[in-house]
Amino acid sequence: MSLEVSREPTNLMTPMLSSAIALSSIGLSPDLSDPTEIWIQTQRSGRGLMAGLRRRLKRERRRRKVGRAYDMALEIARMVPKGSEVLDVGCGNGFIAHHLSALLQRPVVGIDVTPTTEASIDYRPYDGVHFPMADKSVDAVLLCYVLHHAQDVQAVLNEVQRVLHDGGRVIVYEDMPQTWWDRGVCAIHNRQWRERTGPCFFRSPAQWQSLFRSQRFEIISERPLSRSRNLTHPVARRFFVLTHRRAG
C-alpha cells in the first residue's frame, strides 16, 4: 500500500517562513511556530517602512526648498552690497532671508501675512497694507514671486518707495506666462492660492516694465530665468533689479 504525504502545510508555511527570514534580517525576531505572530510582525514592518519613506521624502523636500533659497540668495547677494539693510517682503519660509543674512553679514528682516516662519530670522508680521518698517530705513527690498499675489500692486510699490533709501535697490522675481504651458501652470497656481491671498495677476515683461516706470522705478537690469529652476512649478520667469530716486 502506497502512502501519500500531503505537502499542503509546507506550501502554506513557505511565505510565512520567507517573511520570518525577512523580518529577522531587519532585526525583528518573530515566533516561527506562530503564523499569526509572523503576520503581525510583517504588518508592523510594512508600516515602519512606509513611515521611513515619508520621513525621507519630507527631508528631501526640505533639502530642495533650502537649496533653491540658497541659490536665490547667492544671486541677490551679487546685486546688494555687504552690510546693506534688506527687507524681504512676503518672505514665506524665511530661508532666502536666512541665507542672505550670512552672505551680507547683516540680519535681513522678513515680513509676511502669516504668524511665523520656518527659518530663524528677524521676522515681523505684516498686515497686508503697511510694511512694519520706518521711512527710508532699508537699502534694498526683495519681492520674490510676491507681486502677482498683490491685490493692489501700486499700494505695495508705494510702501517699497516709502521704506527705501534714495537710490536703494529693489530685487524682483516674477512668473511670466508666455506660452500655453506657462499659462496652464499659472492657472493651477492661481487655484491653489486664490482662497488664501485672492486671485493672482500675472503680467508680461512689457507690462511689468511699464508698471515699474509708471511708479518712478528705473530698471537697472533684467533677464529671463529658466523653467527648470523649480521643477514643481516649471514656468518662464524674469529677474529685475530696480532703483528708485525721489523727485527733487
Q: CA triplet 82, 83, 88: central angle to 5 degrees?
A: 90
- Sequential DSSP letters for 142-200: EEES-GGG-SSHHHHHHHHHHHEEEEEEEEEEEE---SHHHHHHHHHHHHHHHHHH---
96 and 35 belong to one structural domain: no
**Pair (151, 206) in one structural domain:** yes
Domain-located, residue 18: yes
Range of the domain at 230: 79-244
- HSE-up of 168 (CA within 13 Å, CB side)? 22
pLDDT of residue 12: 45
Whether the per-residue pLDDT at 16 is higher than 60: the answer is no
Per-residue CA distances from 24 to 18, 45, 85, 163 (Å): 10, 11, 59, 64
Residues contacting residue 32 through CB under 8 Å, at least 6 positions apart: 17, 20, 38
Whether residue 39 is found in the same domain as residue 98: no
CB atoms within 10 A of CB 231: 8
CATH number of the CATH domain containing 205: 3.40.50.150
Q: Are residues 128 and 177 in the same domain?
A: yes
Do 183 and 229 lie in one domain? The reply is yes
Least reliable range by pLDDT among 23-32, 74-83, 147-156, 177-186: 23-32
- Pick the more confident residue, 195 or 11: 195
Contacts of 47 (CB under 8 A, 6+ apart): none
Domain count, the chain: 2
Q: Which of 21-35, 53-67, 88-102, 106-120 has the lowest mean pLDDT?
A: 21-35
Quick one: 94 and 168 in the same domain?
Answer: yes
Residue 1 belongs to a domain: no
pLDDT of residue 63: 66
| Residue 53 confidence (pLDDT) | 67
DSSP annotation string for 188-238: HHHHHHHHHH-------HHHHHHHHHHTTEEEEEEEEE-GGG-TTS---EE
Q: Of the spans 21-35, 39-53, 134-148, which averages the highest pLDDT?
A: 134-148
Please classify residue 158 by burial: count the beta carbons closer than 10 Å to its beta carbon, then call 0-12 exposed, 13-18 middle and 19+ buried. Answer: exposed
Local structure of residue 38 (DSSP, 8 states): H
Residue 88 lies in a domain: yes
Q: Specify if 23 maps to a domain.
A: yes
Going by pLDDT thresholds of 50, 70 and 90, the confidence category of residue 80 is very high
In this structure, the answer to whether residues 97 and 22 fall within a common structural domain is no
- Does residue 2 lie in a domain region? no
pTM listed for this prediction: 0.74
Percent of the chain at pLDDT exceeding 90:
48
pLDDT at residue 229 greater than cutoff 90: no
Nearest CA-CA partner of 61 in 83, 29, 93:
93
DSSP 3-state assignment of 41? helix
Residues 151 and 194 in one domain: yes
54: left (phi over 0), alpha (psi -120 to 50) or beta: alpha
Residues 177 and 117 in one domain: yes
In a shared domain, residues 142 and 237: yes
Whether residue 23 is predicted with pLDDT greater than 50 in this model: the reply is: no
Measure the CA–CA gap between 97 and 99, rounded to whole angstroms: 6
Segment 54-63 mean pLDDT: 64
Residue 68 lies in a domain: no
pLDDT at residue 146 greater than cutoff 70: yes
Bridge partners for 244 per DSSP: 217
Q: Is residue 199 situated within a structural domain?
A: yes
Instruction: Characterize the bridge pairing of strands 109-112 and 86-89.
Output: parallel
pLDDT band with cut points at 50, 70 and 90 for residue 68: confident
Same structural domain for residues 28 and 99?
Answer: no
- What is the average per-residue pLDDT within 100-128? 91
Residues 153 and 225 in one domain: yes
More confident residue, 58 or 147: 147
What is the average pLDDT score of the chain? Answer: 82
β-pairing verdict for 138-144 and 164-175 = parallel
Which position has the grid cell 511708479? 215
Q: Of 202, 211, 215, nearest to 174 (Cα)?
A: 202
Residue 196, pLDDT > 60, answer yes
CB of 171 closer than 8 Å to CB of 241:
yes
Q: 63 lies in a domain?
A: no
Instruction: Give 197-216 pLDDT, tens digit per residue.
Output: 789 999 999 999 999 999 99
